[in-house]
Amino acid sequence: MFRWTVRRALGPLACALFVIALSRPLWSAVILYTDEAAFIAAAGLHHVESFEDVGTVPAAYGDSAAFGRLLFQSPPSSQIDVVALGTYGAHNTTPAGNQFLQATGASAFHDPMRISHTGGPMLAWGANFTDLDFGTIEFFVDGGMEYSPLPGLDGNTMFVGFIGDVPFSQIMLTIDDRTYGIDDVRARVVPEPAAFAMAVLGVLGLVIWGRAASLRTRGFHAPLAQVLPDGAASG
């Protein structure tokens, strides 16, 4: 009975996986978001790095720093720091927070800062950027997406986010020899293979359970040959 139930369950599961595969796009696309609320609504479940758990500030990290599973890598002549409001002005964007990341660029448009996630490729990424020194910034995403916001005034804050229908491995941004504040970095990572496998097994278990419950409700009759007395023949 169990093998019969499994065979019956595999059909719908295979169809569901086939439909999921067909729903994936034939080409990649990355959507730009400049509205934080719209990005949050579209990104789904994601991690937020607010830099509030960094202990003593200001904290200098040189040209590379990891916060949680977010990795920031800058050109050697750049500088990454986590600073506080009292010393560097009101550029924090975390409610009730007072710390943010400060990135100082190298000479104009040399090697970019690269932001990635050690958990794997990302489906969504976004952050608040504050112009601290009349700077210019450009964004690059895997697949050719580029975004160059107009230069703002000193102290202006903007949100920049990207959501892809296929994963991207990193965000690259170039900052001229000015300084930007970065806060509330949001990232959604592609589920790991183990998590996906557990989800598939969970679906399979639910399908089998549903089939078994249906059989119990309707009553399952074993083949006649199994219930006839010994020596009796089935006609």
Query: How do residues 124-153 score in pLDDT, each as one tens digit?
Result: 999 999 888 777 888 999 867 889 887 666
Distance between CA atoms of residues 81 and 68, nearest Å = 15
User: To 10 degrees, what angle do helices 193-218 and 2-23 make?
Assistant: 130
Residues 97 and 156 in one domain: yes
Look at residue 235 and tell me if it is in a domain. no
Structural domains counted in the chain: 2
Whether residue 136 contacts residue 176, with contact meaning beta carbons closer than 8 Å, is answered with: yes
Residues 136 and 98 in one domain: yes
pLDDT of amino acid 84: 86
Residues 145 and 48 in one domain: yes
Please state the pTM of the whole predicted model: 0.69
Residues 98 and 114 in one domain: yes
Residues 160 and 197 in one domain: no
Domain boundaries, position 206: 2-20+193-219
Look at residue 232 and tell me if it is in a domain. no
Residues 6+ apart with CB under 8 A from 50: 94, 97, 99, 183, 184
Look at residue 227 and tell me if it is in a domain. no
Residues 97 and 149 in one domain: yes
In the predicted structure, residue 109 carries a pLDDT above the cut 70? no
Look at residue 115 and tell me if it is in a domain. yes
Confidence of residue 178 (pLDDT cuts 50, 70, 90): confident
Residues 7 and 47 in one domain: no
Look at residue 184 and tell me if it is in a domain. yes
